[in-house]
Amino acid sequence: MTFIQPHTKAYRKASLALFISGFVTFATLYTTQPLLPLFSEEFHISAAAASLTLSISTAVLAFSLLAAASLSDGFGRKKLMVLSLTATSVLGLLTAFSPAFAALLAMRGLLGIFLAGVPAVAMTYVGEEFDPKGLGKMMGLYISGTSIGGMSGRLLTGLLTDLFGWRRALAIIGILSIILSYLFWRFLPAPRHSSQRHAGVKAAFKEYGAVIHRKRLLLLISLGFILMGSFVTLYNYIGFHLMAAPYHLSQTVIGFIFIVYLAGTFSSVYMGKKADLFGSSKMIKIAILIMLAGAAVTLLPQLVLKIAGIAVFTFGFFGAHSIASAWVGRAAGDHRAQASSLYLLAYYIGSSAAGSCGGFFWTHFHWIGIISFISVLLVLSYPVLFMAEFKKRKHNRLHINQ
């Protein structure tokens, strides 16, 4: 059995399928983010309460990931991803018919369960089926799909909401996602390197235990919390900031601001390739520094500079996420599925926890409070990286001495 090689038909089909999976997952997940100010107004709730429409999905998704990785070992990688994408798309459509805010939250929570079947399994599929030498590039391509999905979900939601209202907007995106789920099923090659094994709960805990006892791997996994927590906090509250004085931007205009996600589409592949050449540790530090610089620029009052700052921040985030996710996969060895799930668990807990906590900083300190909170999170990543490097050097010395 050989790996899927570049410049082949299988490579092109797999690349397109993985791009689609990232697109559908994140388009569906983030459709409510640009609607938070509308939810706050329509349902007479606070900004922090409105943010729960995203936080509840990511929180449920985070813990469901733990089961998804082990389930894919027995059920099959492709089968689980196809089932998850289809169910996610249908639930996204049904969300449009939620009669009240409580029902909307319940539907979004259920959505989080099925969303879990794609991210961890897709990362595992990439690690198992593609040539390890180009792993950074392929992981970057998958993540570029997530960035375009996130952008399109937000952009289309904003545009369609101004034209037809938020319910019809969510329904249209749900129908589009169902069509794309069918294409994913047609294009993704069946896995050839994953071994289906029907592991019980005890065996699953043993697999996760093998990952948890590796301190360096846990440090790398914790980067997911920091990166996603920072990213979601900025995007959760930028809508509130730009709809208020002195900007007073419409829902459509705010939706178009998410075009800056294209910077992430480029950086996820570009930074992934650079990490393959120059090392993950060096490149992720640069990517996080870029995020800090972009966040600082958003404090400037000029709208053009503020949007430029968001673009720079987004470039850095997707580059850092691409590097971190591939790095965790490489470091995990035979426990890729479990390590990927734990990385994404940290990633989405960061989204839920930091995204909701951001409501406190927005309410009491406005935009400067949001950026200060984000900056503290990002600065914490540097001691984490230095400790991970120290653990690696210590491990290498022990290995040499033996």
Cβ(51)–Cβ(356) under 8 Å?
A: yes
pLDDT single digits (tens) 20-56 = 998 899 889 989 988 998 999 999 998 889 999 999 9
Write the CB contacts of 14 (distance below 8 Å, at least 6 apart in sequence). 4, 129, 130, 187, 188, 189
**What's the chain's length in residues?**
402
- Looking at residue 195, its pLDDT comes to 55
- Phi, psi at 395, each rounded to 5°: -65, -40
Instruction: Tally Cβ neighbours within 10 Å of residue 279.
Output: 12
- Identify the pLDDT of residue 173: 94
| Residue 3 maps to a domain | no
| Within a domain: 344 | yes
Task: Give residue 196's pLDDT band: very low, low, confident or very high (50, 70, 90).
Answer: low
* Average pLDDT score, the chain: 87
Q: Is residue 196 part of a domain?
A: no
The residue that leads in pLDDT, 260 or 320, is 320
Q: In CATH, what number is assigned to the domain containing residue 57?
A: 1.20.1250.20
Q: Under a CB-based contact definition with an 8 Å cutoff, are residues 108 and 48 in contact?
A: no
194 in a domain, yes or no? no
Q: What distance in Å separates the CA atoms of residue 323 and residue 97, rounded to the nearest whole number?
A: 39
Q: Give the domain range for residue 114.
A: 9-188+208-401
**Is the residue at 201 inside a domain?**
no
Three-state DSSP at 130 gives: strand
Q: How confident is the model at residue 402 (pLDDT cuts 50, 70, 90)?
A: low
Q: Are 316 and 291 in contact (CB under 8 A)?
A: yes
CA distance 141 to 265: 8
Q: How far apart are CA 188 and CA 80, in angstroms?
A: 12
DSSP string covering 49-116: HHTHHHHHHHHHHHHHHHHHHHHHHHH-HHHHHHHHHHHHHHHHHHHTT--SHHHHHHHHHHHHHHHT
Q: Directed axis angle between helix 101-115 and helix 52-75, to 10°?
A: 30
In a domain, 1, yes or no: no
Q: How many domains does the chain have?
A: 1
The answer to whether residue 199 sits within a structural domain is no
Around 4, how many Cα atoms within 13 Å sit in the side-chain half-sphere? 21
In this prediction, residue 7 has a pLDDT band, given cuts at 50, 70 and 90, of: confident
Model pLDDT for residues 122-181, shown as the tens digit of each residue: 877 887 888 777 677 777 777 777 778 878 888 888 889 989 999 999 999 999 999 999
Residue 267 lies in a domain: yes
pLDDT band at residue 234 under the 50/70/90 scheme: very high
- Rounded CA separation 175/95 (Å): 12
Per DSSP, the chain holds a count of helices (H) and strands (E) of: 17, 0
